[in-house]
Structure 1
Amino acid sequence: MPSLTQRLLARVPARLRPALVRHRRLVKFLLVGNGCFALTLLINYGLRLTVLDGKPVLALTFATVAGTAVSYVLNRRWSFRATGRQREALLFLLVSAVAIGVNDLPLIASRYLLNLREPWVSPFTQELADFLSGMVLGTFVAMLFRFWAMQRWVFTRVEQP
């Protein structure tokens, strides 16, 4: 019986399969990232609309920490299939702490340097600027940093498929 991965790969056009197989670590990392992005988005707006109303940077930081914890488990077990554990958790925490800061910087710049917040802009413009700067731009830049740093320093000993 074919595995789930084999069944999904069979649905991909034949000309794309070699590239997906060759870059499978990146594909898995991006799939984990998409799931964690959705989780972060839900937590971020759940916090912003309730207990952290008026504190968007703090809400994004908490949401990103939660998404990062889930991504550690999924990336370790599935994307990178890491085998070494000596310094891995500490290095992951250090890389993630830097990445959380990288993720927050565009939102901080949008809100406090460009003043894209009430009363200088409408509530809709503020929310749109927060989403685009914090959730889209911040997440994208942090994702690039994380993939590079995880491969370089954290998950250096991986199982061969």
Structure 2
Amino acid sequence: MSIVESVLAQVPEPLRSLLIRHRELLKFAIVGGTTFVIDNGIWFFLKLTILESKPITAKAIAVIIATIVSYILNREWSFRTRGGRERHHEAALFFLISGGGVAINLVPPYVSRYVLDLEVPYVDRWVQELADFVSGSLIGMLLAMFFRFWGFRRWVFPQENARPRIVRDDPGDEER
């Protein structure tokens, strides 16, 4: 039994049926949560240290690193049975759509900082950091997430059951 199946077994009905029906979206959200932590950890580290005067550059670097991790996790877990494209074509489309996600993700913090002037010296440091978090890590990331999920299913991993599902009940088990 996989980790997801173990967790789903603990969830009461009718929520369990809903989650099973949307298992791919659930896995995509878990990958998103993981890359959310990676993205924000790197972003805050960079913008509070070596890129203090360049928060948008720091965010772009963080999003790019999180996107690389996202490709690996989504390909091998969220969309592991989907495919239909050669690996290099799939990767190129993934990063192209992710690039659109990066652009979407950067719009809210850009507006927050440079249109609404929610930055020091116009506001307190606390307000600036809160505005950065809300605009870049919540609003921007959610908009980018919906765009990516749609794009990945539509163009990157278009065919269901294109790759065999591997069930690993026992380390010696083969594909089923």
> Normalising to structure 1: TM-score of the pair?
0.94
Per-residue displacement from partner, 1:11-45 (whole Å, max 9, x unpaired)?
Answer: 11122111111101100100100010011110111
Letter in 1 for 2:78: S
- Quote the residue 1:141 is aligned against: 143
Task: Decide whether aligned partners of structure 1 residues 158 and 76 sit closer, same or farther in structure 2, where only a CA change above 3 A counts.
Answer: farther
Percent of residue pairs identical: 46
Q: For residues 77-132 of structure 1, give each alpha carbon's deviation from its aligned partner in whole angstroms, at most 9, with x where no partner exists.
A: 11111343421111111101111010000011111111111111111111111111
Give the root-mean-square deviation of aligned CA atoms: 1.4
Deviation at 1:157, TM superposition (A): 2.5
CA distance in 2 between counterparts of 1:3 and 1:134 reads 33
Q: Deviations over 1:18-75 (max 9, x none)?
A: 1111101100100100010011110111111211112110111000001110010111
The corresponding residue for 1:88 is: 90
Give the equivalent residue in structure 2 for 1:151. Answer: 153
Q: How many pairs were matched up?
A: 160
Corresponding residue for 1:20? 19
Counterpart in the other structure of 2:39: 40
CA distance in 2 between counterparts of 1:17 and 1:142 reads 27
TM-aligned CA distance change 1:27 to 1:146, over 3 Å: same
Amino acid at match of 1:109: V
Query: Residue 110 of structure 1 aligns with which residue?
Result: 112
CA distance in 1: counterparts of 2:95 and 2:14, whole angstroms: 38
The one-letter code of the counterpart of 2:98 is: S
